[in-house]
Chains A and B, each alone.
Chain A
Amino acid sequence: MIQSFIEGNEAIARGAVAAGCRFFAGYPITPATSIYQQMLQLLPPTGGVCMQGEDEIASIGFCLGASMAGLKAMTATSGPGISLYSEQISFAIGGEIPLVIVDVQRLGPSTGSATKGADGDIQFLRWGNSGGMPVIVLAPVDVRDCYLLTIQAFNLAERYLCPVFIASNKEIGMTRENIDLDTLTIPEPEVRKPCPADYSGRPFAPLPGEKVPPFLPMGGARLSRQTSSTHGEDGYISTDPAVIEAGILRMQEKLLSTVGDFTLYEYDGHAEDSILMVVYGVTARAAKTAVRQLREAGDKVALLILKTLYPVPEECIRQHLHGKTRVVVIEMNLGQYVREIERLAGNIPVRFYGRMNGELINSQDIVLKVRS
């Protein structure tokens, strides 16, 4: 067993390169800075581009430009930077531009605590775009996930032409762990489907029966159009409600109807379990310990660790809610994802436990909460 010793941020950078990332732009911000520093080590020697924007708006804008030229691109920041990204995130959604966006969350609100962790941006990532369109959010638990989910994030961005968030946390990003990189099962890197030469060349027209348009790169032999404004399949502004609706619904459906294909989670439970614990992110680690302790004391408790947070993997959650009499949702915030669980739980009572003081939730906290 040969082990490496790296932090979550480095794992994200190395995962990005393994996924084929060729362009990174960022602006220094604790606790995400080391992703940028790593990309600066990794990309230039192999001909890739790593840039430091004048601000976060520029950094993500550079990525949008590079992605439209066909490069796999990533940017990384923390809460204050996500705030500045917002208008460009909306553009990436509406313009169907593949991009991986890492949020190494820090304790908020606002500039908050640069060196303390939290999962306080979860609903912000989901809803922080004008128009409220669905997005993909993946949440790593540890260094291994940082590596693997980053590759998944690139694949999903390429497959669905959309921004994909990695909701990391200072407590994962800046924590170093041992990891055996060589024995990981790496997902096969995907590339966006190019527009067939005999196809229309309308940049937002999917092939028959598909929901995602084939990609026409900016700078290719055939002309491509990109626009942040409401557009038809030809990429020109449209005011026709039927055209607008068709485009909007297609963008919604391309993610909502396929989430079953990318529902990433871990479930540890037995048929007779009556309590379901739902967690994500770094909190999942203490939850694993808590579940063991609860079981040793005779509690029938199951653990669902969600790694695909959005679109909400409703089928997966419903399936694991089935047969339970009680649900406990634990988050490193004041209660964000619990809303999704509550609306799916029906008559099953849902209890929330969370904390936002910069400290990790530990297993004793969780055990007490489940027992009370």
Chain B
Amino acid sequence: MTSLLNRERPPVFCPGCAHEAVVRGLDQALEMLELPGNQVAIVSDIGCSGLFDTFFNTHAFHGLHGRALTYATGLKMARPDLKVIVVMGDGGLGIGGAHVLSSCRRNLDITLLILNNFNYGMTGGQCSATTPTTGKTSSGFLNELEAPLDICKVAVAAGAPYVDRTMATGRELADHLADAIRYPGFSLIDIWGLCPGRYTKRNRVTLAQMEEDIKKSSLTTGPVAANEREEYAAHYFRLAGSAPAASRPISVAVICEAPIRKRCDVLLLGSAGQYINTAGEILCLAGMSGGLHVSQKNDYPITVLRGHSIAEVVLDRQPIEYTGIGTPAVVVCVAAEGVARRKKVFATLSEESLVVKDGELSLPDTGARVIDIDFAGLKIRSSEQVLAALAVVAREGSLLTYEMLAAGLRHRYSGKMLDEALAVVNRLVT
């Protein structure tokens, strides 16, 4: 194989910059792996390391600061056969921290090269997430305040199955890179190097001392046994392959003609756990079975297991325009929470409106015709009350018929659930 370096665009880093050594090392590694350029994508972000993709004859994806891993993830999931190599600096590591952690957890077969030179080179030597507290940077004393990040330790804790740390200028760099790229899962290499343009101007760091520091960090490098597991894309496609086919939306045929002559707005007022939303759906399916147009909105607090639960349903012979509730034709009240939430509506109702309610509930003053149901006496459970109330509405016959309600139930339930629901309805209709 031949070099994948782009001869028309030689590296343009400051003399002595560690990045240049990594460019050569990566090229050697790709040569060792005998990878043609069109099977490799180099994904980079912002900063001096962001120039990386321009030096290679490979696919190249250069994006926003810290976000390289996000593009690499989508690319790899779309093309699992492609070698995806992400290059970023310690700046990208800091700003894109959530993506680094998530990549460790995800274990998609991407190789992340962190070109760690302990400061922001391109913008003038400000401190980064890896700057030692003793370092001198153009961020004044600020780096003294924040502990430097040991990304290798963090990556292991976050589940990365392959972690390595090495010197940019080390002779084995290409081998380290080739091993990481070869690894069939997420691999991260923390590559330490000098930034003569900024960092070493202010700080007396030597390569020997950095090597010493790496040794002292006594990191076990390479595969992390405890974190090794199935690669994400392979795992995803394995599970996706056995995922059940998505269900088609319900198909409702018209079986009879609904009794309503004009638009009817309906409010179902209850509390959490009373299947108010389901009842709204059943009412809509019933309406559709009667040839009506329908719409439904639900109103409930974010704490879904507590508080009011309200369904707003509109039934009309014409396509429904406004989906809000005007003056409701029917209001079903099965819990005080729902009634309290819509207390203003009751005063607006005339005798043309029907209210069907739990006999034990007290309502605000209303001009509507009110039917009480003795749920306690009938021993109808709280979760079945709204359905029982709909049965009473069907019995009255102005909004929907029994036939429509039964059809609505058949679209929503089957088996034992259907039998139970029909039993509740039958008790109140007859």
Q: Which residues of A contact B (CB under 8 A)?
A: 1-6, 10, 14, 22-23, 25, 30, 41-45, 47-49, 51, 53-55, 57-58, 60-71, 73, 87-88, 91, 95, 114-115, 171, 174-178, 181, 218-229, 235-237, 282, 285-286, 288-289, 359-360, 362-363
Contacts and interface: CB of A to CB of B under 8 A. Distances in A.
B250 A362 contact: no
A343 B7 CA distance: 53
B324 A359 contact: yes
Contacts of B102: 53-54, 58
B75 A363 contact: no
B245 A45 contact: yes
B409 to A, nearest CB: 14
Interface in B243-288: 243-247, 249-254, 281, 284-285, 288
Contacts of B99: 54, 57-58, 61
Contacts of B57: 223
A223 B58 contact: yes
B296 A65 contact: no
In this complex, the member of A42, A49, A57, A226 whose beta carbon has the largest number of chain B beta carbons within 10 angstroms is A226
Given A58-B70, A286-B324, 8 more contacts: A69-B78, A91-B64, A178-B284, A218-B82, A219-B75, A222-B38, A226-B60, A360-B324
B116 interface: no
Given A91-B64, A362-B322, A64 B74 contact: yes
Nearest to B100: A54
B380 to A, nearest CB: 26
Contact of A69 (B67, B74, B288): B74
6 contacts: A2-B253, A49-B77, A54-B99, A58-B69, A223-B59, A227-B61
B293 interface: yes
B378 interface: no
A116 B7 CA distance: 57
Given A58-B102, A178-B252, A227 B60 contact: yes
Contact of B288 (A47, A178, A224): A178
A270 to B, nearest CB: 20
B295 A175 contact: yes
A42 B243 CA distance: 10
B179 to A, nearest CB: 23
Given A44-B240, A221-B38, A5 B70 contact: no
A178 to B, nearest CB: 5
B87 to A, nearest CB: 14
Given A1-B254, A219-B82, A363-B322, A73 B74 contact: yes
B73 A58 contact: yes
Contacts of B53: 225, 227
Nearest 8 CB-CB pairings of A with B: A61-B70, A65-B74, A44-B240, A69-B78, A62-B74, A65-B75, A4-B249, A66-B74
Contacts of A282: 323
B426 interface: no
Interface string B184-200: 00000000000000000
A174 B240 contact: no
Contact of B54 (A88, A228, A236): A236
Interface of B: 9, 37-38, 41, 43, 53-54, 57-64, 67, 69-79, 81-82, 98-99, 101-102, 236-237, 239-241, 243-247, 249-254, 281, 284-285, 288, 291-299, 302, 320-324, 326
Contact of B321 (A30, A114, A286): A286
Nearest to A221: B38
A23 B61 contact: no
B297 A174 contact: yes
Contacts of B98: 54-55, 58
Contacts of B237: 47
Contacts of A360: 322-324
Contact of B302 (A5, A62, A67, A115): A115
A254 to B, nearest CB: 21
B63 A218 contact: no
A66 B77 contact: yes
Given A4-B252, A10-B249, A174-B297, A23 B78 contact: yes
Given A2-B251, A5-B288, A57-B70, A362 B77 contact: no
A61 B64 CA distance: 10
B283 to A, nearest CB: 11
A359 B312 CA distance: 13
Contacts of B236: 44, 49
A4 B288 CA distance: 9
A176 B281 contact: yes
Contacts of A171: 297, 323
A14 B247 CA distance: 11
A285 B9 contact: no
Contacts of B284: 5, 176, 178
A285 B316 CA distance: 14
Contact of A285 (B63, B67, B322): B322
B348 to A, nearest CB: 13
A175 B75 contact: no
Contacts of A61: 63, 67, 69-71, 73-74, 99
A97 to B, nearest CB: 10
Given A3-B252, A178-B294, A87 B78 contact: no
A178 B246 contact: no
Nearest to B71: A65
A237 B101 CA distance: 30
A2 B252 contact: yes
Given A62-B70, A223-B57, A3 B62 contact: no
A197 to B, nearest CB: 14
A68 B78 CA distance: 9
Contacts of A58: 67, 69-70, 73, 98-99, 102
Contacts of A289: 321-322
Nearest to A87: B64
A358 to B, nearest CB: 11
Contact of B70 (A2, A53, A236): A53
A140 to B, nearest CB: 13
Contact of A228 (B62, B288, B302): B62
Contacts of B302: 30, 114-115
A65 B73 contact: yes
A64 B63 contact: yes
